[in-house]
């Protein structure tokens, strides 16, 4: 099974709407490692590491966000996996 790593930056009204916790629960459900955090510029940034289909599920969720969020833009970049385990909210 191949493992991929993606860095995702989500812009819009994405803080204060349980975005990070919603992503954490979804990541744990799908066996995706990594982290998510609020940025000072109002965006949310995350790293997802796992099986390609599972990582893509999380990216697709980020394009909509939880109820109350308004996503304007999602930037996705490919990175090399570096052995992350577990998923954390920073």
Distance, in Å, from the CA atom of 70 to the CA atom of 35, rounded to the nearest integer, reads 21
Helix 19-30 with 52-64: angle, nearest 10 deg:
160
Which is the catalytic residue, given 38, 57, 67, 90? 38
pLDDT tens for residues 8-65? 999 999 999 999 999 999 999 999 999 999 999 999 999 999 999 999 999 999 999 9
Q: Which domains does the chain have, with CATH numbers?
A: 4-79 (3.30.70.100)
Q: Which member of 6, 20, 24, 57 is catalytic? A: 20
Q: Residue 38 catalytic?
A: yes
Whether 19 and 43 have beta carbons less than 8 Å apart is answered as no
**pTM for the model:** 0.95
């Amino acid at each position: 099974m191949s493992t991929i790593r993606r860095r995702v930056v989500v812009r819009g009204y994405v803080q204060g709407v349980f975005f990070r916790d919603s992503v954490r629960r979804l990541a744990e459900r799908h066996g995706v490692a990594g982290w998510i955090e609020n940025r000072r510029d109002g965006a949310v940034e995350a790293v997802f590491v796992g099986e390609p289909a599972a990582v893509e599920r999380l990216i697709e969720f980020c394009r909509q966000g939880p109820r109350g969020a308004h996503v304007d833009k999602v930037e996705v970049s490919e990175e090399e996996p570096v052995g992350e385990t577990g998923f954390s909210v920073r």
